[in-house]
A = this chain, B = another copy of it.
């Protein structure tokens, strides 16, 4: 079945269509479940002026932080960016534009973008700086703000397994924002640990159906741990 084979074997082909100034939506939480190989390829390719949507922005050396250090990011939409010293400097100098977004709102914005919902109401952020300039409306006696959805020109995703049709399975909490990023991208590319044949994944156990996925590549990035914490007893 040639029509649905989404496997790309060379990293140099995986980002075809990514251009300066585009919006990139990335999966991952901290350094968990991040598409490091795809991030490294964006660095190699040197695409600039990117708007990047991701819960975090990596560290100075890992994750999206490498694109920050390399001055490829113009604007960052994230919920928490505390792990990157470079971030502060670029933000303070006005070089980097930052839109802090509550984590749940960010997740919902990605899903909504993928699902054809241009905006939704949420109580999160009502009465805070997040609500500035946003419509407030009452439903059933409670105040909500209107949040608009996010779609990406490109989404970069890390999954555990993919079949060649792009059906994805995630592993443990490396799932996080990845299925949502997959939905939100006009073009969605995925780095995986294992590529299997169609039929090897149980249809009932697929987390992200292949319809959201354009390309799949076998990655080989090391998995990193930000806070290695072990039992003391």
Q: Mostly helix, strand, loop or mixed at chain A's interface?
A: mixed
Copies of this chain per assembly: 2
State whether A122 and B116 are in contact (beta carbons under 8 Å apart), knowing that A139-B148, A204-B170 are contacts in the complex. Answer: yes
**Chain B residues within 8 Å of A116, by CB:** 122-123
Complex Cα gap A205–B204 (Å): 8
Nearest Cβ distance between residue A187 and chain B, in whole angstroms? 19
Of listed A118, A122, A144, A172, residue having the most chain B CB within 10 A:
A118
Partner pick for A118 among B108, B112, B117, B144, CB 8 A cutoff: B144
State whether A120 and B119 are in contact (beta carbons under 8 Å apart), knowing that A204-B170, A204-B171 are contacts in the complex. Answer: yes
Complex Cα gap A122–B172 (Å): 32
**Chain B residues within 8 Å of A120, by CB:** 112, 117, 119-121
Question: Is A140 part of the binding interface, using a Cβ–Cβ cutoff of 8 Å?
Answer: yes
CB-nearest residue of chain B relative to A170? B204
**Chain B residues within 8 Å of A91, by CB:** none
Q: State which residues 134-148 of A face B: CB under 8 Å.
A: 137, 139-140, 142, 144, 148
Nearest Cβ distance between residue A225 and chain B, in whole angstroms? 19
Question: Cβ of A204 and Cβ of B172 under 8 Å apart?
Answer: yes
Question: Is A224 part of the binding interface, using a Cβ–Cβ cutoff of 8 Å?
Answer: no
**Chain B residues within 8 Å of A115, by CB:** 108
Of listed A108, A117, A119, residue having the most chain B CB within 10 A:
A117
Complex Cα gap A116–B120 (Å): 11
Question: Cβ of A139 and Cβ of B123 under 8 Å apart?
Answer: no
* Binary B-proximity of A189-205 (CB < 8 A = 1, otherwise 0): 00000000000000111
Complex Cα gap A144–B149 (Å): 13
Complex Cα gap A171–B139 (Å): 36
**Chain B residues within 8 Å of A119, by CB:** 120-121, 137, 139, 144
A and B contact pairs by CB, cutoff 8 A, 21 listed: A108-B115, A108-B117, A112-B120, A116-B122, A116-B123, A117-B120, A118-B121, A118-B140, A118-B142, A118-B144, A119-B120, A119-B137, A119-B139, A120-B120, A139-B148, A169-B204, A170-B204, A172-B203, A172-B204, A175-B204, A205-B205
